[in-house]
Amino acid sequence: MGETVRDSDRRIGRRALLIGGAAAAVGSAVLAREELAHLYWRLPGVRRKRVEGAVDFRGARWVAASEANFRWADRPDDYGVDMVVIHVTQGDLASAVKAFEDPGHRAAAHYIVGQDGGVTQMIRELDVAYHAGNRAYNERSVGIEHEGFVDRPEDFTDAMYAASARLTARICARYGIPVDRDHIIGHVEVPGTDHTDPGEHWDWDRYLRLVRKARTASA
């Protein structure tokens, strides 16, 4: 599951304000535009208009994560998305949903895939979820949790693999992400993390075959 320490610096600091002021002073439109795109969403109370209950993956159910567990953004306009991070919940679906709704948890992923193949979305792909334990990876990735435990291969069902592969294929298509192990990674592979998921029982070869098949079918 995602890290329990929240992503840092939700407010604009002195350095950010100085950068913005310098950009305005020198009249650099490119610098100003890039900085403002990254900083605008950190202003208190500012967020892009959203359709309540909207999802990014057709058929997903929407359950909102606590606002303490993600950062409002406008991806990919402010942060490019070029990676999918695979997680395992280390618990059942209900407990994962409850954790991501809890502001004290300080972590959440965009999606949870159940053992029955159901997909729950808790954070819009527009926004930066606190799931990877690394700020830069949070900003550039979509996080997908999978119901179960890393030491129980039976938890990774056919329905789960198939549904998750369809989800990842759609994410890759939306952002032009290559379907390979450089861009679809496990939480364990994120620099600085102390997590081990999805673990040795996650069948990467099978998963990537399914993602490629789903990607081709939707092309």
Where in the sequence numbering do the catalytic residues fall? Answer: 145
Helix (H) or strand (E) holding 86: strand 83-86
Return the closest-CA partner of residue 116 out of 144, 153, 158: 158
Q: How far apart are CA 96 and CA 94, in angstroms?
A: 5
First to last CA, the chain: 31
Crossing angle of helices 14-26/29-39, nearest 10°? 150
How would you class 214 by CB atoms within 10 Å of its CB: exposed for 0-12, middle for 13-18, buried for 19 or more? buried
On the question of a cis peptide bond just before residue 153, with omega within 30 degrees of 0, the verdict is: no
Instruction: Please give the distance of CA 32 from its chain centroid, rounded to a whole number.
Output: 27
Question: How wide is the angle at C-alpha 73 spanned by C-alphas 70 and 75, nearest 5°?
Answer: 115
